[in-house]
């Protein structure tokens, strides 16, 4: 039996003793009022989706919707159904759509293990920023404005460089979201990154004097040796910290860096200078048989993770407060032709340059190179 549903009549319709009952409207087929045993009343629409499946969509309760507005809304839904749409299916898909938190979880499970350890650590530091800002929102609903606003917020709160790293991570995550069919596009595209001016910092001979003195006085002898090896080889700090004795052939003076440690992800053979050899031979003589690492950490089975605290003391003692990165400015700017037994500048340019291999990008400071050649023995002779 159909009823003429009005704002007055829907309140007088009897509630069933259990479960619920649908009172269908006389004016619009499929539109009705559901009344539960406890008296709750909501407007619903019954329809058949493509394929003949019967569906029931809840429009809303009578406190929110008037009968007329609910009936008008049901008419609009029926027009969509007539052209093959499934309104309830759309709602269900939206409820099941992955959130940013779920995207982060999948990124950690499937993509993060493929990255090198240093990159994994950096991503793990950035992901909480993304989760806090966007975590509960659906991946499909995030737009350009949301990303740009987050980038500006992180810029103000954590600085331009950290904001750019967050943006790069988001770009990768949304590229994967497209691949995983969570959304059709990458909403990070077009967001303008903060400018990152290149650091042009050179140590003067006097500053290098102070650095060598600070290394000699440093209480953490292992950290001092790590920085000495950085100076003598031009290697990256991660390469030195994770170096294993099996990577070195001390009989011919070669360091074979495995592809897993190099930024270029390719194996690199580095001829060692006499001074680097002297330092490594000394370290080899007092190595721990339980560790395969040149610089073991608290556990001999793991490498040392960082020399940050020691470096902070060293640069403070040497009055080099503006050199925050551990020997980063030194690796490409000060060392080229003293890091190799062959004496060929090209061998070290290959070690110190970026992937392009362009010599001019090494920014070699020739006056300091000359001074360093005169001071070579001091790097290893100072203890």
Domains of the chain by residue range: 9-94, 100-179, 205-381
Average pLDDT in the 227-256 region? Answer: 91
Residue predicted with more confidence, 103 or 366: 103
Is CATH 3.30.160.390 the classification given to domain 9-94?
yes
pLDDT, residue 45, reads 95
pLDDT, residue 201, reads 66
What is the CB-side half-sphere exposure of residue 246 using CA atoms within 13 A? 4
What backbone phi and psi angles, to 5 degrees, belong to 323?
A: -100, 85
Please tell me whether residue 195 adopts helix, strand or coil conformation: coil
Average pLDDT in the 50-54 region? Answer: 83
Q: What CATH code would you report for 205-381? A: 1.10.443
- Other CB atoms within 10 A of residue 102 CB: 14
Q: Examine the pLDDT at 162 and tell me if it is beyond 80.
A: yes
**205-381: same fold as 9-94?**
no
pLDDT, residue 361, reads 34
- Other CB atoms within 10 A of residue 335 CB: 26
Q: Examine the pLDDT at 304 and tell me if it is beyond 90.
A: yes
DSSP run (H or E) holding 317: helix 308-317
Q: Examine the pLDDT at 347 and tell me if it is beyond 60.
A: no
Q: Examine the pLDDT at 261 and tell me if it is beyond 50.
A: yes
Please tell me whether residue 35 adopts helix, strand or coil conformation: strand
* pLDDT tier for residue 205 given thresholds of 50, 70 and 90: confident
pLDDT digits (tens, 9 = 90+) for 214-227: 999 999 999 999 99
Strand order across the beta sheet in which 20-24 lies: 20-24, 31-36, 41-48, 54-61
Q: Examine the pLDDT at 336 and tell me if it is beyond 50.
A: no
Tokens of 150: 């987050």
DSSP assignment string, 65-87:
--HHHHHHHHHHHHHHHHTT--H
């Amino acid at each position: 039996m159909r009823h003429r549903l009005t704002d007055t009549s829907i309140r007088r319709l009897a509630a069933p003793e259990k479960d619920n009952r649908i009172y269908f409207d006389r004016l619009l087929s499929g539109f009705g009022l559901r009344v539960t045993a406890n008296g709750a009343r909501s407007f619903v629409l019954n329809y058949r989706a493509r394929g003949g499946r019967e569906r029931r969509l809840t429009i809303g309760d009578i406190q929110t919707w008037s009968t007329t507005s609910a009936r008008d809304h049901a008419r609009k839904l029926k027009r969509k159904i007539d052209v093959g749409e499934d309104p309830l299916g759309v709602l269900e898909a939206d409820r099941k759509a992955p959130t940013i938190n779920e995207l982060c979880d999948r990124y950690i499970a499937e993509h993060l293990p493929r990255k090198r350890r240093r990159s994994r650590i950096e991503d793990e530091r950035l992901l909480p920023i993304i989760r806090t800002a966007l975590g509960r929102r659906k991946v499909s609903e995030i737009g350009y404005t949301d990303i740009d606003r987050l980038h500006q917020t992180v810029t103000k709160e954590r600085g331009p460089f950290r904001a750019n790293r967050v943006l790069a991570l988001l770009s990768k995550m949304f590229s994967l979201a497209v691949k995983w069919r969570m959304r059709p596009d990458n909403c990070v595209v077009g967001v303008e990154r903060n400018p990152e001016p290149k650091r042009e910092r050179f140590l003067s001979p006097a500053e290098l004097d102070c650095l060598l003195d600070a290394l000699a006085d440093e209480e953490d002898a292992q950290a001092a040796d790590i920085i000495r090896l950085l100076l003598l080889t031009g290697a990256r700090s991660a390469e030195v910290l994770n170096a294993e004795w099996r990577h070195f052939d001390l009989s011919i003076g070669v360091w074979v860096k495995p592809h897993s440690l190099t930024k270029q992800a390719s194996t690199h053979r580095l001829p060692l200078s006499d001074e680097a050899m002297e330092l490594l031979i000394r370290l080899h003589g007092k190595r721990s048989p339980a560790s395969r690492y040149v610089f073991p950490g608290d556990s001999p089975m793991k490498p040392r993770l960082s020399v940050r605290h020691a470096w902070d003391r060293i640069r403070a003692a040497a009055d080099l407060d503006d050199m925050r990165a551990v020997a980063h400015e030194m690796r490409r700017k000060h060392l080229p032709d003293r890091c190799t037994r062959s004496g060929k500048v090209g061998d070290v340019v290959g070690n110190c340059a970026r992937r392009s291999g362009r010599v001019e990008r090494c920014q070699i400071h020739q006056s300091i190179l000359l001074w360093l050649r005169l001071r070579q023995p001091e790097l290893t002779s100072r203890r």
